[in-house]
Structure 1
């Protein structure tokens, strides 16, 4: 991923927030040079310095047989930025851009086929996401639910390298950033408001850093 220094982040809390907000990732593997892609919900696991993503495929999915190197893309909010929103530039020098948050998690893919592992994945995923929608479906460890586990294959992506890009006008003066935050925050889409929130937090953090460095 093209990652200018101004937009790079290595903040674990930011990554956790990104995955929590949008845990539906793009998982990419390669076979004989050809990409294989799945779109899957995942759970983020941290154990000290170790980081992993856990989820499952449908067994007929060709990717369910894959192990080894893999890439998971975590998609955050994104929004168009009009150059007309910048207050401090000559009109002729203003150009449009696109602000966004994204993370690439590179690692090694492990297949999980043990029944207990599969049951834990389904139970943990359902408990997490049912709570978010105010429902209470749960995996029950009985013969009916265990028989349905035969239709899936689990995975754990052991993350070895993280590239996180926060493209949020950090290369602009504060006045421009504030103006874009206001414009995006007033829009009626989750993506625009999400970018505005990330921009606001980045601006607050940069100002705090400036104060501590002075």
Structure 2
């Protein structure tokens, strides 16, 4: 992912606070023997620091890819909007359209978890995150509703080794252009426009200050 200096996260708190409210993304792993990459959409639990936890079905093709190369990327993007030509210029001949979006990629080293207790622990932590009300029943290796299904899944512990964070909202462009884009987003009001507008205004204010 190309990250220009003006699109980079202002600090770790910016990307951490954004990712804290997102728990669905894609896990990308190199394909085996030159095959296409394996990309798996999935929910996950990120501890906010150094570890991502999840589980997937045993037949998933990701396992062979990880056994060949344990490097994986957890990729999350959101708050995106298409910015048309006319919003970025007074003339169609000089305007260049773009995309606004926020994205975080966690480069990780994977550990496959196959023991029953290890898988139960991953399930406990995921369910505690996704169902904090506790309405998920007992999660244990030898008791509760999940014990018979543990053999059908494998767990993943992903140790975060690098973070790539990008907030692409024209923070480097002139104030007049940013204001024109702000008006366009507010008036169009498509899904994603409000979140993109909030990022654009927040980062514009920081750039101005």
**TM-score computed with the length of structure 2 as normaliser:** 0.83
Task: Map 1:123-134; keep pairs closer than 5 Å.
Answer: 123-131=124-132
Distance in 2, Cα, partners of 1:46 & 1:130: 18
User: Could you list the per-position Cα deviations for residues 37-65 of structure 1 after superposition, in whole angstroms to 9, with x for gaps in the alignment?
Assistant: 11111111245xxx221111111112134
Distance in 2, Cα, partners of 1:58 & 1:110: 15
After alignment, is 109-118 or 94-103 more displaced?
109-118
2:151 equivalent to 1:150: yes
Question: Is the Cα–Cα contact under 8 Å of residues 29 and 36 in structure 1 kept in the other structure?
Answer: yes
2:52 equivalent to 1:53: yes
Q: CA deviation at 1:90?
A: 4.1
Question: Is the Cα–Cα contact under 8 Å of residues 137 and 145 in structure 2 kept in the other structure?
Answer: no
Q: Which runs of 5+ in 2 are unaligned?
A: none
Question: Is the Cα–Cα contact under 8 Å of residues 24 and 42 in structure 1 kept in the other structure?
Answer: yes
Q: CA deviation at 1:25?
A: 1.4
The equivalent residue for 1:16 is: 16
User: Could you list the per-position Cα deviations for residues 170-213 of structure 1 after superposition, in whole angstroms to 9, with x for gaps in the alignment?
Assistant: 12112322332332234444322221121122122223xx3xxx
The equivalent residue for 1:138 is: 136
Which of 82, 85, 88 is 1:83 aligned to?
85
After alignment, is 115-124 or 104-113 more displaced?
115-124
After alignment, is 53-62 or 64-73 more displaced?
64-73
The equivalent residue for 2:160 is: 159
Higher relative strand content:
1
Distance in 2, Cα, partners of 1:72 & 1:148: 25
- In structure 2, the CA distance between the partners of 1:19 and 1:93, relative to structure 1 (3 Å rule), is same
Question: Is the Cα–Cα contact under 8 Å of residues 181 and 197 in structure 1 kept in the other structure?
Answer: no
Q: Does the residue aligned with 1:22 lie in a helix, a strand or coil?
A: coil
The equivalent residue for 1:116 is: 117
Distance in 2, Cα, partners of 1:139 & 1:174: 53
CA root-mean-square deviation: 2.2
- In structure 2, the CA distance between the partners of 1:10 and 1:107, relative to structure 1 (3 Å rule), is farther
User: Could you list the per-position Cα deviations for residues 90-147 of structure 1 after superposition, in whole angstroms to 9, with x for gaps in the alignment?
Assistant: 413222111111122212111122323322322322232235xxx7532413343211
The equivalent residue for 2:42 is: 40
- In structure 2, the CA distance between the partners of 1:46 and 1:80, relative to structure 1 (3 Å rule), is closer
Q: Which runs of 5+ in 1 are unaligned?
A: none
Question: Is the Cα–Cα contact under 8 Å of residues 53 and 126 in structure 2 kept in the other structure?
Answer: no
Q: Does the residue aligned with 2:109 lie in a helix, a strand or coil?
A: strand
- In structure 2, the CA distance between the partners of 1:181 and 1:53, relative to structure 1 (3 Å rule), is farther
Residue correspondences, number: 200
**TM-score computed with the length of structure 1 as normaliser:** 0.82
